[in-house]
Chains A and B, each alone.
Chain A
Amino acid sequence: MTESTVTLTQFFEQARKGALTGIRCGACGALAVPPKALCPECGARRWETVPLSGEGTIASYTIIRVAPRGHADDAPYAIAAVRLREGVSLLGRVVDVPLDTLAIGMLVRFRPIVVKDRPAIGFGPA
């Protein structure tokens, strides 16, 4: 294993199929979200691919009511920063959770979604 073993395209291809892929530094063991060339912790250039559970808790969230052009039809929609069980965080749309029940610390689980024909990160009830 040498350079980032997972490209963005590969990550989202896998995500579309329901799998979240992380990368772990072969030198220091630090976990990261791809793509990365060098390990931000130790500078090594040796990554291995590891599956991520997709389970995590909401670190913060918002409900977007004024959306960019192209997303207006979806509004209002919830976006959360989710700290995964393994320690890395991902941003995602929260789906199938009533907006007024969202809370920091809420358990959620990764769920593949498609936004404007592109694969994207979603989180649903745990």
Chain B
Amino acid sequence: MRRVAVVGVGVTKFGRHDRTSAELFAEAAADALADADLPAGRVQALYYGNVVGGETEKQLHTGPQAASVLGIPTVPTTRFETACASSHAAFRHAVMEVASGASDVVLVGGAERVLNVPTADSTEYFAYASDASWEQTLGLTFPGVFALVARAHMHKHGTTEEQMAAVAVKNHKHGVLNPKAQFRKEITLDTVLSSPKVADPLKLYDCCPFTDGGAALVLVSEDVARTTRRPIWVLASAAASDWMLISDKRDLSRVPATERAAAAAYRQAGIGPRDVDVVELHDCFTIAEIVATEGLGLFEPGTGGIAAEKGWTSLGGKIPVNPSGGLKAKGHPIGATGAAQICEVVTQLRAEAGPRQVEGARRGLTHTLGGNTATVLVSLFGRD
């Protein structure tokens, strides 16, 4: 298999947009191609993530639409849907296309538009990623899924609501430093703890927002990468799945798919969690970040809450997590999230992240989770 590098990245401002998801993707992709200094004519395939376009935009076949709006209508295009991990799944398959030698230049990205519909509708559409017969019928929501995880983690490990709140405070603090972030305002523990309950024990500020946005990146073979200024190498990209039903998980305080995807990625790259300098992970809810830091091997099981509380995951801490602000503050346009996380890690490894730069970062990790913890992707990146 050939080495693969990311040589261009682009991300729209995250937040509310009066544009279609295809337009948002096209802006990000044009920026990524400009960043790579490669003409659009070099692109041989598009791997695209979009989740609820069928509901919020009455739009299927979003891959070719995105390619057409970008202006590359004839490249082979495939849309991936693995709930919130869609564009990270797209990325993994694109890496395999380039690594295999099938293509030399591939575009990866995703976009989502949800703020054009009321919250009750978007809550319902997101719940479509849980099981229609067993879970949606009960009125289970995604905050509800992670509330089940939170309650189990609190029961088993003594994790506190204050520790979860510390994740939100930290990610909002990071988000202030990211001009693309949806929320650029610091909050306090009390902001989180006194916010309205959404699904006990999770409160409004434990939850990431609904977001419109797009992200894209350019993947190339080693030969092409050597002609560019600052390639960031893909060291690994691994996926794992798990039972669809949240009730089928034996231990709700863990996300086994994260543990398996991380183990596979570390094995591929030949490195371990201690070799990672910067992490962008899937903090759709504060408890999700805590459980992910444990599943990725950054902290021992049960100590993720302590790590957040002590500032070990803050910029300047032992292992900075979500310097972009994460899903919590940067925002979570679900189809774009995996690609956006990769864009952030690439920016960090290029040492181009400005005030949110993790000093001396050489290796980075991205982690994206889909659905009821049934899909997880983990990728690792390194600079020369």
Most buried by A among B123, B133, B144: B144
B135-163: contact bitstring with A at CB < 8 Å (1 yes, 0 no)?
11111110110011101100100000000
* Any A CB within 8 A of the CB of B18: no
Residues of B within 8 A of A115 (CB): 137-139
Rounded to whole angstroms, the CA-CA distance of A4 and B136 in the bound complex is 23
Rounded to whole angstroms, the CA-CA distance of A69 and B148 in the bound complex is 21
Known: A61-B148, A115-B139. A70 touches B124 (CB 8 A): yes
In the complex, the answer to whether A60 meets B152 with C-beta atoms within 8 Å is yes
In the complex, the answer to whether B144 meets A64 with C-beta atoms within 8 Å is yes
In the complex, the answer to whether B252 meets A81 with C-beta atoms within 8 Å is yes
Known: A62-B199, A67-B123, A81-B247. A104 touches B152 (CB 8 A): yes
* Any B CB within 8 A of the CB of A93: yes
In the complex, the answer to whether A63 meets B252 with C-beta atoms within 8 Å is no
* Any B CB within 8 A of the CB of A74: yes
CB contacts between A and B, total, < 8 Å: 102
Most buried by A among B120, B136, B247: B247
Residues of A within 8 A of B151 (CB): 60-62, 104
* Any B CB within 8 A of the CB of A112: no
Beta-carbon contacts under 8 Å, B186-240 to A: 196-202
Indicate the size class of the contact surface on chain A: 20 to 34
Rounded to whole angstroms, the CA-CA distance of A104 and B202 in the bound complex is 16
A44-82: contact bitstring with B at CB < 8 Å (1 yes, 0 no)?
000000000000000111111111111110110101011
* Any B CB within 8 A of the CB of A107: no
Known: A68-B120, A69-B123, A118-B137. A81 touches B148 (CB 8 A): yes
Residues of B within 8 A of A118 (CB): 137
* Distance from B225 Cβ to chain A, minimum over Cβ atoms (Å): 42
In the complex, the answer to whether A69 meets B144 with C-beta atoms within 8 Å is no
* Distance from A106 Cβ to chain B, minimum over Cβ atoms (Å): 12
* Distance from A35 Cβ to chain B, minimum over Cβ atoms (Å): 9
* Any B CB within 8 A of the CB of A12: yes
In the complex, the answer to whether B252 meets A59 with C-beta atoms within 8 Å is yes
* Any A CB within 8 A of the CB of B167: no
In the complex, the answer to whether B246 meets A91 with C-beta atoms within 8 Å is yes
* Distance from A16 Cβ to chain B, minimum over Cβ atoms (Å): 12
Known: A12-B133, A89-B248. A60 touches B155 (CB 8 A): yes
Q: Considering only CB atoms, which chain B residue lies closest to A66 in the complex?
A: B198
Beta-carbon contacts under 8 Å, A86-126 to B: 89-93, 104, 115-116, 118, 120-121
Most buried by B among A67, A70, A74, A89: A67
Rounded to whole angstroms, the CA-CA distance of A65 and B201 in the bound complex is 11
> Which 5 A-B residue pairings sit nearest by Cβ, starting from the closest?
A71-B139, A62-B147, A68-B124, A69-B120, A91-B247
Known interface pairs A68-B141, A91-B140; 15 further A-B residue pairs with C-beta atoms within 8 A, sorted by A's residue number:
A33-B245, A60-B149, A60-B155, A62-B151, A62-B199, A63-B200, A64-B144, A65-B197, A65-B200, A67-B123, A79-B138, A89-B248, A90-B247, A104-B155, A116-B137
